[in-house]
A and B are shown apart, each in its own frame.
Chain A
Amino acid sequence: MSAPLTAAADLRRLVGRDLRRELRTPDSLMVNLALPVIIMVLFVYVFGGAITTGSSGLDYIDFVVPAVLLMSGGYGAALTAVTIADDLTGGMIDRFRTLPISGWVVPAGHVVASLVRNVVASAIALAAAVVLGFRPTASLAEWALVLALVTAYILAMSSLAVIWGLAVRSTQAAGAFSFVVLFLPYLSDGVVPAETMPPVLRDFATHQPITSVVDTLRALLLDQPMGSSAAVAAAWLGGAVVVSIPIAAVMFRRRTAG
């Protein structure tokens, strides 16, 4: 077998290992699958009645679904920090390193497993949203773009999570990253309209990356004006991936060099 094919086969095995582990950890599986539904219900029924959607004119459920998608997908993606820290603090990494596999396959396996896991979790969140009254108007092509965008968001967050997981020394500290990622959408235009926030926060919320992703998702799912948000979102996510993957690779090599 050629080198790229061998690496792809190794990657597949490591992804399989991660997914198997996930399925055998009922608590984390529940969190991964139930959290999106819980957040969705919480926003639609508990907060929804009290929040106006400002100038967008959307129903609150339509307004909030993109942010909830990013919260649930991002939360799960951030847990990649824990899966990598588990390998590093346990002995597994020594076993992997004595195997004739490329070093990058190990973190890449965690990232790909995270993609699979969280795209599924996002689909569940979306299904829950539809049950609760979310009525997207996207065409097939727009759905494909939604999938691409959510996948890119999860990829970016998973890669950043690998860096975090490599930087900290314990699995507990690794878990802290998921709170950052879960919290970030609150400070965007995704949960309440940015125009209702005080000036400094409004500026942050308007310009932080999640707002551009939320706006793009709204445009695709609900026929809202796209503006420049798609280009901005693509730049943010593309930039995060392009920057974080080499950093993660170098850190992984350093961290495992003894």
Chain B
Amino acid sequence: MNAIHSTSFTDAIVARGLVKSFGDTRVLGGIDLTVPTGSLLALLGPNGSGKTTTVRILTTLLPPDGGSAVVGGHDVVRDGVAVRRAIGLTAQQATVDDLLTGRENLELFAGLYHLGGRRGRRRARELLERFDLADAANRRVGTYSGGMRRRLDLAASMVSAPPILFLDEPTTGLDPRSRVELWAVIRELLAAGTSILLTTQYLEEADQLADRVAVISRGRVVADDSPEALKRQVGAERLVLRLAPADVPRASALLSAPGGAEHEITLAVQGPDHLRHTLDELHRAGIPVERVELRTPTLDDVFFELTAVAA
């Protein structure tokens, strides 16, 4: 069910059949991805699904065992230097120096990008302003909050104004406010024409930012679609019905919904009518409902749904 896109020069990132094993453990089992220029693809998956490995291969930090990838028009294996010139990476682990100030960090990286003294200093100043760090510019990064450190990390990735940006779980561990602030920054980058591949564990984050979402599970892309289509497929909300255990099989057949736990069934609801209809049906069949709960779909639901369809 992988969507097939045609490969063209307008794609910022194209990966085909990426395979990677660590020892006997196969981490990637053939990843296909396409990020059209100027768009954001969210790579959505739980821990250990292969998101970071994919990012490390696409950013030349790790050679693939098989498959190919072209980033910014350059092959990641054959032409790593050219790829590195076209990309910025914000890894999961903060990659800024705690003992240096925010400004010193950015000036160091500007120097290592060979921007030259005055241009480097100007670039650092611009980025500090843009990422709302001007007030903290002369403080050591060790004193920064988690959100500020992520913003600095992102700023460091933008020093050379790369056309392509990789963000590996940029908001993991951030408080809700910092997360929303970071989203705003990412939207700005996107509006300025940057092509972005972002990994996340949060469906909401993918929904907020992405033009397209690739769901990854156990090293495979199990869905690749727009957030709207994905949510339609997954259902807007989850209805959890608590029943007597004896009633679960009958209710499950009646509603053609898989039984979840021993005394629960969970199904996607398509709006208020569907909800009323479901409860009516159970009532007519004489099945008492002990408790009704509505919740937004989680990543678990997405996986349950998608892997169920794939199987």
Contacts and interface: CB of A to CB of B under 8 A. Distances in A.
Contacts of A253: none
B257 interface: no
Given A13-B108, A21-B99, A258-B56, A98 B61 contact: yes
Interface of A: 1, 6, 9-10, 13-14, 16-17, 20-21, 24-25, 90-92, 94-101, 257-258
B99 A91 contact: no
Contacts of B100: 17, 20-21
B3 interface: no
B200 interface: no
B289 interface: no
Interface string B72-111: 0000000001001101110111111101100010001101
Most A C-beta atoms less than 10 A away, residue of B60, B99, B100: B99
B63 interface: yes
A220 B112 CA distance: 42
Nearest to A21: B99
A95 B99 contact: no
A100 B93 contact: no
Contact of B89 (A9, A94, A258): A94
16 contacts: A9-B111, A9-B114, A16-B108, A20-B100, A20-B104, A90-B93, A95-B109, A97-B60, A97-B61, A98-B60, A98-B61, A98-B87, A98-B88, A98-B89, A100-B114, A258-B56
Contacts of A101: 112
Rank and list the top 4 A-B pairs by shortest CB-CB distance, nearest first.
A91-B93, A258-B62, A95-B95, A91-B95
B140 interface: yes
A97 B95 CA distance: 11
Interface in B88-146: 88-89, 91-97, 99-100, 104, 108-109, 111-114, 140
Contacts of B104: 20
Contacts of B93: 90-91, 94
B44 interface: no
B113 A99 contact: yes
B99 A25 contact: yes
